[in-house]
Amino acid sequence: MHQLLVATTNEGKVKEIQKLLSKTPVELLSLNLFDVGEVNETGATFAENSELKARSYAQKTGHWTLADDSGLEVRALGGAPGVISARYAGVGASDSENVAKLLSELAEVSDTHRLARFVCSISVSDKFGNIHFKSEGICSGTISFSPRGDNGFGYDPIFIPEGFEKTFAELDDSIKQRLSHRAMALKKIIPLFVCIS
C-alpha cells in the first residue's frame, strides 16, 4: 500500500478528506507527523494554490501529497472572498470573524441575490514535486442572513446548499459528504489512486 500525505493545516478539511478517502487503497499520513511550516499561498486561482501546496509539501516531506485549496465565491461581491476566503477579515482571522465580515458586506443584499458557490481544487504530487492529478469541484447555494448550526467549519454556518433550506452546519454530515465541492473534486480522482497503490 502506498502512503499519501494529506497536506492541510485546516482540521475541518482533514476530517472531511479522511472520510472521503477512507475506502481508497492508500495509507493517509497527517501533516502533524512533519515539522515543515506553512506554505505561502501566492497563486491567483484555487488551482494554482492547490498545485503550489501539493508540490511544496511533497518536496519538503518526500511523500506523495494531496493538497486542497478551496473557498467561497459570492456572486453579489464579484466572486469575493474567493482565494482569500481564509483571510477575508484579515491575516489570522477566525472562521467567525470571516463569517461576520461576509454577512456585513451582504447586509443590503436581498434574498434572491445571495447566490454563492464553494469551489475546491485538489492537486496530487509525487514525492519529487511533479503534479499527477488535478481536479475541481463546485457546490452551489445561497448565503443565509445569520449563522445557523454547529456542524462543519469555516463558512458552513451561512451556506445553504441548493435544494435545501438549512445551512451545511445544520445539516447532517452525511449530506455534506455527498454533495460538497470537496466530495465532487475527490470523486473524480479517487479511481486514479489505484495507479499509486
Q: Using the rule CB under 6 A, which residue among 21, 28, 34, 41 binds ligand ITT?
A: 41
Contact positions with ligand ITT (CB under 6 A) in 76-135: 85-86, 95, 98, 118
Least separation in angstroms between CB 148 and ligand ITT: 13
Nearest to 155 by CA among 192, 110, 105, 103: 103
Query: Interface with ligand ITT includes 155 (CB under 6 A)?
Result: yes
The stretch near ligand ITT (CB under 6 A) out of 122-130, 141-149, 151-159, 187-195 is 151-159
Query: Interface with ligand ITT includes 161 (CB under 6 A)?
Result: no
The residues that bridge with 29 in the sheet, in sequence order, are: 5
Grid cell in block for residue 63? 511523500
The CB-nearest residue to ligand ITT is 154
Query: Interface with ligand ITT includes 56 (CB under 6 A)?
Result: no
Q: Using the rule CB under 6 A, which residue among 77, 153, 188, 190 binds ligand ITT?
A: 153
Q: Which strand (E) or helix (H) includes residue 34?
A: none
69 has catalytic annotation? yes
CA distance 185 to 115: 21
| Spatial contact of 4 and 66, defined as CB atoms under 8 Å apart | yes
Cα distances (Å, whole numbers) of residue 116 to 32, 41, 83, 131, 162 = 33, 23, 14, 29, 10
Query: Interface with ligand ITT includes 9 (CB under 6 A)?
Result: yes
- Sheet with 26-30, strands from edge to edge, namely 26-30, 2-6, 65-74, 115-125, 131-143, 159-161
Give me the residues that bind ligand ITT (CB under 6 A), please. Answer: 8-10, 13, 41, 68-71, 85-86, 95, 98, 118, 152-156, 180, 182
The residues assigned a catalytic role are 69
